[in-house]
Copies of this chain bind each other. A is one copy, B any other.
């Protein structure tokens, strides 16, 4: 039966015309959704080995999984986590950026923007459980959530795009600025800084940190419990009000943002460092 109907193309995924049931067929192994019976909280685990790097199809599936949870009247909150205890997400899949097809690259960045808009504006309560590394795109996903808890010790978080020769677009920088303020975000962004959980909590980049994974999970549950203790309609109204201005600006800048991204990434000054970096990884 599966073969009878053509799989949706990237273009139809991105434009949102794909039914959820169909979309789940695409890559359902890349996202793991756990639901305890009778719990209003789902756990959405990023599960794309080895490092949860963000490809077009992976991001589309995350977004569609979120849409499924939003459509479920019993779900009020989502914990965004990773099936890999050492890596939350390594950020953009560099394969998407090396010698790219401009049409796919445009769809890729449109999906990144659309996913982040969906996460930022979802009426569900969201908490990122950051047990592992969370650089660049991984940090962006975490910043779209209502709260962030990070494990201390090993993993590092930050928007380190500039260290790779790229500059993060304005809305990603604004997501960091709303968490840690203007000057501190500007400084981290200029330097491509990565910090550990203790420092991230001190800066406000995450809400709290803990030494063990169990303690992280306990803090995540506490954040979620506090949010869900509030009547849903009021909590959602607060979230919508506080995020409307930035959310509207993000949405209205999507097309321009994808054009900018394609132009920037395909330029020699960005392709050079990326190709050199990927070559160094292969060695």
Contacts and interface: CB of A to CB of B under 8 A. Distances in A.
Interface in A182-213: 182-187, 189-193, 204, 207
Contact of A181 (B125, B146, B181): B181
B229 A191 contact: yes
Contact of A165 (B182, B189, B234): B234
A230 interface: yes
A238 interface: yes
A186 B231 contact: no
Contacts of A235: 162, 190-191
B234 A161 contact: yes
A233 interface: yes
Contact of A187 (B146, B182, B183): B146
A230 B162 contact: yes
This chain: copies in complex = 3
Contact of A234 (B147, B166, B184): B166
Of A173, A184, A237, A273, chain B has the most CB atoms within 10 Å of the CB of A237
A167 interface: yes
Nearest to A160: B230
Interface residues of A, number: 46
Contact of A167 (B166, B184, B241): B241
Nearest to A168: B238
A162 B204 contact: no
B183 A231 contact: no
B191 A227 contact: yes
A132 to B, nearest CB: 22
B233 A191 contact: no
A98 interface: no
Contacts of A189: 238, 242
A218 interface: no
A239 interface: yes
Interface of A: 125, 146-147, 161-168, 170, 173, 177-179, 181-187, 189-193, 204, 207, 226-227, 229-231, 233-235, 237-239, 241-243, 269, 273
21 contacts: A146-B186, A146-B190, A161-B234, A162-B231, A162-B237, A163-B231, A164-B234, A165-B233, A165-B234, A173-B241, A173-B242, A178-B181, A178-B182, A178-B186, A179-B182, A181-B204, A186-B238, A190-B227, A190-B239, A191-B235, A192-B230
